[in-house]
Amino acid sequence: MSASKKPPSLTEAILLATIARRFYVQGRSKLEIADEFGISRFKVARMLDTARESGLVRVEFSLPAPVDLALSDEVRAAYGLERALVLERSTEREPREVVRAKIGTLAARLLEEIATPSDVIGLSWARSVNAMTEAIRALPRCPIVQLCGVQAGMDMRGRSVETVSRVTSVSGGDAYPIFGPLVLPDRRTTETLRRQPGIAETFGQFRNLTKAVVSIGAWQPGESTVYDALDEAERAAIAARGATAEVAARLFDASGNALSTGLAHHVLAISHEELTAVPEVIALGYSKPKAAAVDAVLRSGMVTTLITDAAAAVPLLALAAKNPPR
């Protein structure tokens, strides 16, 4: 309410509250209310506005998850996404592992709601995807496909093979794991492993994927599984090519274009073309250091749903405002 307006009198407040109750609680239309009170529907609309502006009526949302509705809607609209789920701003002060668990829980709830028995679901390795699998309680019986190999040095609980196993133990569907490392020494070794029967069977499922859950990595230390698996010379060479983001060992520049580097020939992972062809891609990308990487991947047009936090969403919106995505 503006400073120049007086608060409504008692009788005015009662009338405003009565009309607001008809509209918000009883679900009556503005035309029905207008007929009952002998006024125009335009006056009803103005009275509803006054009831809100004066504080007499407050609109609140009680969502079944800790989601910032306004930020979620802004991010969704800015990038033309089907969905965006942004954790509440209060999580900005929480430890990263706590935020990761909440991101994973949101992803689990979404996947539980949208998965169907006809789906073929792909999972990339990532700590956030791993957190999602630990939070999943029910899924229809559908195949679960591993999208990339295992990072060397990870304990078994964090490996992508174990991630796929956990999900299929819940769904009862077939598992298609990749028993092989993420990064291999050369192209010949990669091609040899891809022809191994078990791995070849999994790679054959990539064209059947209907949904995929992936993590967005930034081309920085500690922000990408692939980055951390390479030596310093390879990291620098790829950075010099303009690498900004990584998804399932596939690289993107700041504009969302796929980057062709030598890396593509010595990783066990779904191809960029196969990943782009998946009808529904749920991407998990959070924290301020990953904002530019999330922006890059969203510009690719590959992602349909983003799950993130306010720490990434605020700079993400600034990037979208500065250079609007196509």
What are the residues whose beta carbons fall under 8 Å from the beta carbon of 216, sequence distance 6 or more? 245, 246, 247, 283, 284, 285, 290, 293, 294, 297
pLDDT in tens, the chain (326 residues): 444 567 788 888 889 999 999 998 899 999 999 999 999 999 999 999 999 888 888 876 656 678 898 999 999 999 999 999 999 887 777 888 999 999 999 999 999 999 999 999 999 988 899 999 999 999 999 999 999 987 655 443 445 567 888 899 999 999 999 988 888 888 898 889 989 999 999 999 999 999 999 999 999 988 888 888 888 898 899 999 999 999 998 999 999 999 888 787 888 899 999 999 999 999 999 999 999 999 999 999 999 999 999 999 999 999 999 999 98
From the number of C-beta atoms within 10 Å of its C-beta (0-12, 13-18, 19+), residue 268 rates as buried
Q: What residues pair up with 308 in beta bridges, in sequence order?
A: 86
Provide the strand spans (E) within the chain.
83-86, 121-123, 144-146, 175-176, 211-215, 217-218, 245-247, 250-252, 280-284, 305-308
Helix (H) or strand (E) holding 155: none
- CA neighbor of 291 nearest in space, from 251, 320, 271: 320
Sign of CA dihedral 124, 125, 126, 128: positive
- CA neighbor of 147 nearest in space, from 134, 131, 164, 162: 164
Under a CB-based contact definition with an 8 Å cutoff, are residues 75 and 86 in contact? yes
